[in-house]
Amino acid sequence: MKIRNRLNPSNPCFSFEFFPPKTDEGTAKLLKTLEDLTPLEPGFVSVTYGAGGSTRDKTVELVTRIKHETNIEAMAHITCVGHTRDELRELLRRLADAKVENVLALRGDPPQGQKTFEAVEGGFRHATELVRFIREEDFNFCLGGACYPEGHVETASRDDDLRHLKEKVDAGLDFIITQLFFDNAFYFDFVERARRVGINVPIVPGIMPITNYEQVHRFTRMCGATVPMRLALQLERVKDQPEALVQLGVAHATVQCMELLSRGVPGIHFYTLNKSPATRMIVSALRSRT
């Protein structure tokens, strides 16, 4: 099933992102987590691709297992980091041979210790080049990409970022998923600006339930997302109370999702960090209201 066919404002789907565990035990736990998610009828799950392609084989293996051993559609993340065209072509062939139909095409973050992104010889500098390559090679994937409601941290302005995104979409994307955000105003403003420049593919909001105080600060520093002042003060008050912090994170994300759904988003993508209880609580609450 192509993900683009599941993104429908009249029947929005919920999707979940996971990263490949390092051990067989971790993989078994993750497959159990997916089993627990099945009653919530996820539209799809995505599997990330470690820095420098460090989880390449595990990503392919896990996506293949999800595709063939569960009733959940799967999408593989692919990045440009550390790979030549030939290596990426072989990787895409492996996914196609495994009957995987959906790919999220990303540039990827610079490897640890490297401040700026540098393409390897024979590789790609931008996700736009990767998207164009996949289309020119005639792979029949449904292609997703990333977008940044508050602007990519490496671009000079949001207008520049939007121009780059338009090029990427025009290269052959079927849909885009946003970076995490905690204030819906950023999403709605971004969608309006994107539509004005002719970006007409579905724009799926990406939501990360806050479950750890230090973690949310680390992620927001990395990606440039803004934590609203009121939420920041609330988090500060409960930072040493794990259960209260999770309850606050779940409540905030649930309210975010309710507003997003009320205004016609085509789906919601959850960044789970391989911890599903918070996400299950949110989706269960949302399902109970429909």
- Are 49 and 79 contacting, i.e. CB atoms less than 8 angstroms apart? yes
Count Cβ atoms within 10 A of the Cβ of residue 25 and give its class: 0-12 exposed, 13-18 middle, 19 or more buried: exposed
Instruction: Burial-class residue 10 by CB neighbours within 10 Å (0-12, 13-18, 19+).
Output: exposed
User: Which residue is catalytic, options 17, 101, 129, 150?
Assistant: 17
- 142: its two tokens: 């449904």
List C-alpha distances in Å: 61 to 2, 27, 70.
19, 10, 14
Helix (H, G, I), strand (E, B) or coil at 271: strand
Is 41 among the catalytic positions? no
CA gap 216, 220 in Å, rounded: 6
Please report the sign of the dihedral spanned by the C-alpha atoms of residue 79, residue 80, residue 82, residue 83: positive
Q: Could you list the active site residues?
A: 17
